[in-house]
Structure 1
């Protein structure tokens, strides 16, 4: 009898093992070019791994979403069915780094009985996945499990923080991923490598959900963590411009049960230079939600804040007054710049209906000395064909959104620059979308500063023209930190996420020894040509010219070059580069090309081959570092010559230098 019971127990044990094994299913998705294979397994755990050219790139990495009711999507879930499709299409963005984006991928969807799906997309240059739920009512997300198990403790270019109250304005440093053990968190994008392949990790289509960061969980694994939902916050931080969380929930999001979750994206590149141009974040974002967007107008901006309204040689005292901004408007109109900015100081920061400096806010026909007559300025700007953008503290605009935007619409405001969010919890992400919608209703553009990284929202709301999320030129006003060291890191890291409002164009250029910070008379790290190159290198549909109108007017060669610079492009071609060392890129608009090179603090020679050009000859206008640029940053040389696709030019880039070329087709 004893043996009989043992036999029965053994029999059912073997049956249960067999059933468990039957529940574990494996699938494979191959990229269109056959180089990338994604292996997915479902059963007790949902996991995936990636091979590239038959080499492991990502080892078995688990993924799941834990709900507050105890359910876990991605653990012990039964597969209902699977489906696959191949997509080969062309997307035509309203504006972008190219006139057309190729959208080519193989997609695999696993549908589970627990009313959720996981979708994988495999591109030739990347892999992405997302969850999709079909649950009733509202749901609370306790945690989303995001893991990337690499093949080694790899070097990575990291931007770190000790808090979720983070401005995305720290520098990128090269460190081992294991340095993220403990307190430091790494923001996205993060660039690393695995088995010799460059990998950039970020997210796309972030809507009504918090962003995420990386920590290190051992075994060469990057683990995603998200800020909790903010239950209470209070005004604080710099000049009370921020809102600081005082009470967090025990969940990260409360959202609709029927929805798509953000895409978790790995961009793959065999060479550093291939990271210079990538549009996967845009392609993975939701399509436009604002209907007709033909009114959205990218462009350049004459900016007041960086140069502290330092107009020289004028017959009035410059500052927050009507005469100063009339000058900005005239400058913009004369040089065909689309906008001027009225930055911090035009209003009470905490009441956008209260204009500073005793300004007249009723209809006026005469410019008043020593005051800001807003109706007069907006009428004057309209006559000149120039739009005015207004700066706002985010929580002030959030509190006054309807009445402030209505007043702005009456004045004729063309857009808002919104500042000091410094967070990407669900509340702030919701604010982005709410503002984008309300601004679009009034045909206003949006520029987000002190912002989290782009996630493709500029596709979903194309009136969002730019995002800061970078330690940009403004830091030269108030910090001694060497921002030039970042110049050749950002094109391979931060730029992967999307548009970047770096705000280049300073004309007081200095080397390391001569540089000093000055809030009211700022200078730049590096050479004049380094600044010029940024206008091509850093993609910015809404691009500020940082220096004062009168400073540019004293440099007509520079002004003419920048005034003619496109903001959006028909084609982009990476030419050369190494992260943290140098970067060279070419961009086309119409029949003209612009080529730019950026260098770090070590002088070097680079050769540009022009084989990307169309047939025929081009007139090249070349700005290169002058022979004394290592000592005097303002030193540059302008030259012209004819170029064709068989040409090659060698450039000696100075320490902190660069070059900028405009190539116009000769008919």
Structure 2
């Protein structure tokens, strides 16, 4: 990694200062932030190509050491330019060049205590945070409330996931970022539970453009946040966790040592959706927290639980899924809950030896453990206690286990963030990768933690099994995730079903409404470096061979991602590159066939391309075609269907 941060002498051309106001812009001058103090209230506003994205929005916080939200004075500013390149193997792009202008505004409260508000502004992204010095002998601070806000114009519509009540749902495990979105909703509608909305949050600011709000860089030093409901004027503010989360354990207000800083809040802006889908801001402003001596191998896996459920967690059924992984050329098998009881700890070495004999490695499931929910699925009470956890992870390492899936967290408090970090750190000491389930979204974690490989934090594949309603809505939801949840971090969805009926025997349960090509397309659309697909042993004989052939060669890591076309909840066309091969995929959630003329810059005249699409009977069909025009392709995507071009 090469990092260059150069100090600019004097005022940079993108900065203007007037009294209690300063304006800075990104390198190309289109994205601008104005920071000012009005009647003692610090505020900022955002424009893109001179069109309003955010009106005056409050800055600041109230802490146990003072109020930094009012009676403030603008006391100074300084500027940096940031030019940074880095490599990342587990996100949407492998080689990243981040250029931004940095503006630091110093504000003082009436007790003359300072805070610094640091803005980093690139061509389409803003990241900002608060930095606090040490105040005399005071060595720590508790942030009691943030007044940080996002004030959108009244005509803005929203694509938001509500924050649920705490301690509801399966065994009182919520919130877990699994509620249903509403598309193009007005801002003045109260959220489903009255607690606001989980990050990330997508806003359509009419003809002015689009904005995605989220946060990154959250570790053990802060809580995770979300957005409040909007006021009548369209103002959303940062909201801390609810007291009831995690069964009331832990504080809702973060505490940190001084000097210290808050996480980065991020705003991605564009006149269209391309910057939203392609942003790398969650990783641009964070750094690795610890080195690793291990080399972690990304890849694909099978898991029995998604279709065969709890009854499949036994030695013989798991061997069938190892055999499936071997037949598909997959690297992993994931054994879900109850393995400690139904297979037994004493037999795990025999099972892992069997898997390894087939060139398959093993992930094992754990509960995050126990005093904040009612979970009985084992193993429980191993991950929350550092003494027990370290002993368990040492045992897993001795067996050759490659990773763990840890489930049922149910909260965003700082105490819970400490648990995520502790699990990751201890796991890396033992060469274990970590997937989180029933959890919060990642916040820059792919870059911060070398062994982090995915989080659920979405209405994922298990819901398709539980209720027909979610199968009916599968295409709609899948057309949201590339624009919202998956654009800010790994999404461990666990999908790509080839069963027509979602049960063990492919003859009952929920009815899948999507086509096979739709399901293949989501293997590319949904980005996660470890993909546990919802294939089943019966698919080796009852699924179309064209589908099996595609799923045998689809990668899980990407060197480049390009947005081609789409609208959240309706359709999406996305291109991802692995090495020198492009996968251009599309899905359609609408009730009518979708005809599109696409401009594909990665394609040229005479290119040979493999085309996967649905025929008139909605069956998968593949053929090699030759492109006749420079970068131009005309396609039809069936309702709840898909299309894939491989070049």
* SS of residue paired to 1:455: coil
Alignment partner, residue 307 of structure 1: 307
Shift of the 411–648 alpha-carbon distance from structure 1 to 2, 3 Å rule, reads: same
Q: Given the superposition, is the C-alpha separation of residues 610 and 49 from structure 1 closer, same or farther in structure 2, using an over 3 Å criterion?
A: closer
Aligned pairs for 1:469-484 (under 5 A) are 469-481=457-469, 482-484=472-474
Cα 1:323–1:339 shift into 2, 3 Å:
same
Give yes or no for contact 1:609–1:646 (8 Å, CA) kept in 2: no
The correspondence for 2:568, drawn from 567, 572, 579, is 579
Q: After superposition, give the CA deviation of every residue in 1:393-420 in whole Å (9 maximum; x if it has no partner).
A: 1123213422221221222111111111
Alpha-carbon shift at residue 425 of structure 1 (Å): 1.6
- Superposition deviation, residue 356 in structure 1: 1.4
Structure 1 window deviating more from structure 2 (636-645 vs 196-205): it is 636-645
Q: Find the counterpart in structure 1 of residue 119 from structure 2.
A: 120
**Cα pair 1:508 1:522 within 8 Å, conserved:** no
Question: Counterpart of 1:607?
Answer: 596
Tell me which moved more, 188-197 or 564-573. Answer: 188-197
| Match of residue 220, structure 1, among 230, 234, 252 | 234
CA RMSD after TM alignment: 2.8
* Map 1:190-269 → 2, pairs under 5 A: 190-194=201-205, 196=207, 197-207=209-219, 208-214=221-227, 215-228=229-242, 243-245=246-248, 249=251, 252-269=253-270
- Residue 305 to residue 26, structure 1, CA distance change in 2 (3 Å): same
Show the counterpart of 1:625: 614
| C-alpha distance in 2 between matches for 1:155 and 1:103 | 30
Note if 1:506 corresponds to 2:507: no
Q: Report the number of matched residues.
A: 593
Give the Cα–Cα distance (whole angstroms) in 2 for the partners of residues 649 and 68 of structure 1.
Answer: 60
CA displacement 1:313-369 (0-9 Å, x = unmatched): xxxxx93333333332233234321111001221xxxxxxxx2136361xxxxxxxx
- Aligned equivalents of 1:356 and 1:548: distance in 2? 23
CA shift, 1:150, in A, is 1.3
User: Which residues of 2 match residues 490-505 of structure 1 at below 5 A?
Assistant: 490-505=481-496
**Counterpart in the other structure of 2:162:** 160
Matched, 1:562 2:541: no
8 A contact 1:533–1:596 mirrored in 2:
yes
Deviation of 1:222 (Å): 1.3
Give 1:595's match in structure 2, choosing from 581, 584, 587. 584
How far does residue 244 in structure 1 lie from its aligned partner after superposition? Answer: 2.5
Aligned counterpart in structure 1 of residue 540 of structure 2, from 552, 559, 563: 552
1:272-311 equivalent positions in 2, closer than 5 A = 272-284=273-285, 286-292=286-292, 295-308=295-308
* Local SS of the residue matching 1:398: coil
Secondary structure of the equivalent of 2:159? strand
**Secondary structure of the residue that 1:192 maps to in structure 2?**
strand
Question: By how many angstroms is 1:112 displaced?
Answer: 4.5
Contact 2:565 2:574 in 1 (8 A): yes
Gaps of 5+ in 2: 1-16, 167-173, 370-380
Q: Give the CA deviation at 1:89.
A: 2.9
Name whichever of 173-182 and 463-472 sits farther off: 173-182
1:28 positional shift: 0.9
Whether 1:388 and 2:362 are equivalent positions in the alignment is yes
Secondary structure of the equivalent of 2:549? helix
Query: Would the alpha carbon gap of residues 224 and 516 (structure 1) be closer, same or farther in structure 2, given more than 3 Å must change?
Result: farther
Cα 1:508–1:322 change in 2 (3 A) is: closer
Whether contact under 8 Å (1:576, 1:585) holds in the other structure is yes
* SS class of match (1:356): helix
User: Which residue in 2 is equivalent to 1:4?
Assistant: none
Q: Which residue of 2 aligns with 1:457?
A: 445
- The one of 178, 183, 191 aligned to 2:188: 178
**3-state SS, counterpart of residue 306 of structure 1:** helix
C-alpha distance in 2 between matches for 1:644 and 1:408: 55
Kept in 2, the 8 Å contact 1:607–1:648? The answer is no
Partner of 2:517: 529
Q: With structure 1 as the length reference, what TM-score do the two structures score?
A: 0.83
